[in-house]
Structure 1
Amino acid sequence: MAKQTQFMIWNEQAIEQLAKHIQAGEVVAFPTETVYGLGADASNPAAVDKIFIAKGRPADNPLIVHVADKEQIEHYVTDIPEYAKKLIDSFMPGPLTVVLPSNGKIADNVTPGMSSVGIRIPAHPAAQELIREANLPIAAPSANLSGKPSPTSAIHVFQDLNGKIAAILDGGTTGVGLESTVVDCTGISPKIIRPGGVTQAEIELVLDCPVEDSTTDLDIDKPKAPGMKYNHYQPDVPMILIEGNQDFFQSKINQLQAEGKKVGLLVSEELASNLSADQLQICGTVTNLSTIASQLYQVLRAFKKTDVDIVLAEVFPAEGVGKAIMNRLKKAADYIEKAENDR
């Protein structure tokens, strides 16, 4: 465990220093285009253990390995099906992870109990530079305490992990805002096992065929990807998803306030103008769901600075990147409350 965490602005010298930490078996945080990652040498079991310790992450929750290019993917797997090659060519570097048969060069505790490994090529230039400078595969989950909202800025990482890791690289705010889409490529056909920055429609367009979305029908006791088995992304106060019209939403606010509770809202621009509560956090517009994706974790974290007792969150359309948004919100929420006519 680090006694003092270095906080560094992204430049050539910082990349060199972080690479030395990785090579020495330490854990560092760095930006990707999705969220900030908590990275260590994926071929070093002792270094990988430090990721789990720093996050307080269950040891059976697998990690994704980050590499710099397609040639490096080939170095760590036994086979890449033709459909997986199409996905790699079309979406990498970018917010897509492919799960492939491992050849054993990645440490066993990266994907405990599995013969496969999830690999992606991050698009953020800082991540690319770090991987190349370290010249190692980097296992990197999101750089937050386990169960809490993922970090989209270096200050989020600092708030969660200062003193627990060797260094944090500040590369600005991330763009996509949600973790990568994970596609299981170990079978005859691909299966989406975690929705993310690449949508099902985009994948189907590239492969020119329907692709199974298995995100709600999986063996979570042996997860092939992060985010499948445990609750995640939770704010520091209870959160309820509200499915219904604005009158139903306001009635739930009024009911909770009548019970003496201060209510916070996580809603779109459209709904915000029609509701009244103690705290309001607007996360984007339903006319462009990518705006909600990019701000979701920042807004979830923002409630920590307020005195609200409970958060009510809008249910967004589960289409396109909306599937990923709702996947995260359902894992973050205590439960969903629906209007009578929606049940």
Structure 2
Amino acid sequence: MSLDHTAIDAAARALEQGALVAFPTETVYGLGADAENPAAVAAIYAAKGRPQDHPVIVHLAPDADLDYWAADIPSEARQLAAAFWPGPLTMILKRAAHIPDAVSGGQETVGLRCPSHPVAIALLQAFKAGKGGVAAPSANKFGNVSPTTAQHVRDEFGADGSVAMVLDGGASEVGIESTIVDLSRLATHGPVLLRPGHISAEAIAAVIDRLPAPPDVAAPRASGTLESHYAPHTPVAMQDSATLKATLARLQQAGRKVALIHYSDLPEAHAQVRLPTSPDGFAHALYASLRAMDHTGADLILVEAPPQGGAWLGVNDRLRRAAHGSAGIVHGLLNQQPPA
């Protein structure tokens, strides 16, 4: 893709002056600020409505000095960086003493990654001559569906003036957030998979010869790991194919409007979108589909549950969080009088 270097340079200067800039990555669009400017990082939290103890990820240029950002870096971290950076892997490491704890939610750790999107790389290389870090959670209001296009970002923040610039890099290729692996407690807990994503636990194990363990109660807090997250305003329910087909018929008989996200042959609904049957294709289209179905006036977004298995772990994680808190919604819609 051709890069608008004038816009990228302007975005880098805006970041250096403490402003917020939204930019594309291969996973989702990020809402960026100078990671070493606590006031700028605080502006991210204010714009998103994000809890102060919920850490953000620091994005680095490909040739950044990892030792500037983290302390006691294990060899496994350098191996994973060599294997997967630039790319959709975030590593949790012990935070270097001079790095503000604003980016870590007050913890002694820091999340670091190097994105692979060419616009993100160009921005990170232009910002502080490639020596800085850009703190960037997803560019949406806290808990909402993450944005995968520049227009999604404008839909979230266009009216409030909190974002100085939005760099447009097209639709995000991966479509769900990065894999997060905790390497800050290797001696006691080994590697721990805090958030699944495009890079699987098996792929990580192939590099460091240790399979990451599931999260434990003492694991560091990390971005996007709350039980309710990535959720549209319309309630979401996820069901297996056979159950969903019967549920759809009952809801339609009850006069309910259903927005359907599916991948197999199913009856027509009030609104629907059919996603690819591959995990990568499904992930790429998921957030845009949730956003589209959220604007159809439906009573419920009904999602055909994807297959289980390692390649689908990231997609299932995001859908489970999107549907959290919607337990009983189908029963309620079937047993309440629909609006006149």
Whether 1:81 aligns to 2:69 is: no
Whether 1:305 aligns to 2:295 is: yes
Q: Distance in 1 between matches of 2:235 and 2:210?
A: 41
Paired position in structure 1 for 2:28: 35
* Counterpart amino acid of residue 130 in structure 1: L
Paired position in structure 2 for 1:191: 192
SS for the counterpart of 1:233 is: coil
Q: Distance in 2 between matches of 1:211 and 1:61?
A: 22
SS for the counterpart of 2:294 is: helix
CA contact (8 A) 1:265 1:313 kept: yes
Paired position in structure 1 for 2:116: 123
CA contact (8 A) 2:191 2:210 kept: no
Paired position in structure 2 for 1:209: 210
Q: Distance in 2 between matches of 1:12 and 1:100?
A: 32
Change (3 A) 1:147 1:282: same
Deviation at 1:61, TM superposition (A): 1.1
Pairs within 5 Å for 1:147-186: 147-162=143-158, 163-186=161-184
SS for the counterpart of 1:97 is: strand
CA contact (8 A) 1:77 1:103 kept: yes
Q: Distance in 2 between matches of 1:328 and 1:226?
A: 12
Residue 224 of structure 1, aligned match among 213, 216, 221: 221
CA contact (8 A) 1:262 1:309 kept: yes
Deviation at 1:256, TM superposition (A): 1.6
SS for the counterpart of 1:264 is: strand
* Counterpart amino acid of residue 332 in structure 1: A
Pairs within 5 Å for 1:1-343: 10-69=3-62, 71-135=64-128, 136-162=132-158, 163-188=161-186, 189-214=190-215, 217-219=216-218, 223-243=220-240, 245-246=241-242, 248-268=243-263, 271=264, 273-285=265-277, 288-333=278-323, 334-335=325-326
* Counterpart amino acid of residue 28 in structure 1: V
Q: Distance in 2 between matches of 1:283 and 1:212?
A: 30
Deviation at 1:282, TM superposition (A): 1.5
Superposed CA RMSD: 1.7
Q: Distance in 2 between matches of 1:81 and 1:36?
A: 29
Deviation at 1:69, TM superposition (A): 2.8
Change (3 A) 1:281 1:181: same
Q: What's the CA shift string for 1:170-197, capped at 9, x where partnerless?
A: 0111101111000000122211111012
Deviation at 1:223, TM superposition (A): 4.5
CA contact (8 A) 1:83 1:190 kept: no
Q: What's the CA shift string for 1:33-70, capped at 9, x where partnerless?
A: 11101000000100001101111111111100001135
* Counterpart amino acid of residue 42 in structure 1: A
SS for the counterpart of 2:12 is: helix
* Counterpart amino acid of residue 238 in structure 2: L
CA contact (8 A) 1:241 1:335 kept: no
Runs of 4+ in 1 over 4 A off after TM superposition: none
Instruction: Name the TM-score, length of structure 2 as normaliser.
Output: 0.89
Q: Decide which moves more: 101-110 or 51-60.
A: 101-110
Q: Distance in 2 between matches of 1:202 and 1:326?
A: 18
* Uncovered stretches (5+) of structure 1, i.e. residues with no partner: 1-8, 338-343
Q: Distance in 1 between matches of 2:176 and 2:248?
A: 28
Aligned-pair identity in percent equals 39
Q: What's the CA shift string for 1:47-106, capped at 9, x where partnerless?
A: 001101111111111100001135422211112111111111100110000000011332
SS for the counterpart of 1:213 is: coil
* Counterpart amino acid of residue 171 in structure 2: T
Q: What's the CA shift string for 1:296-334, capped at 9, x where partnerless?
A: 100000013312111111211232331110111011014
CA contact (8 A) 2:55 2:103 kept: yes
Q: What's the CA shift string for 1:232-286, capped at 9, x where partnerless?
A: 111121111113x42x212111222222210111111xx2x2333221112221x
Change (3 A) 1:50 1:330: same
Paired position in structure 2 for 1:5: none
* Counterpart amino acid of residue 151 in structure 1: P
* Counterpart amino acid of residue 171 in structure 1: G
CA contact (8 A) 1:10 1:170 kept: no
CA contact (8 A) 2:294 2:301 kept: no
Q: What's the CA shift string for 1:150-186, capped at 9, x where partnerless?
A: 0111000000011221110001111011110000001
Change (3 A) 1:12 1:120: same
Q: Distance in 1 between matches of 2:217 and 2:260?
A: 31
Instruction: Name the TM-score, length of structure 1 as normaliser.
Output: 0.88
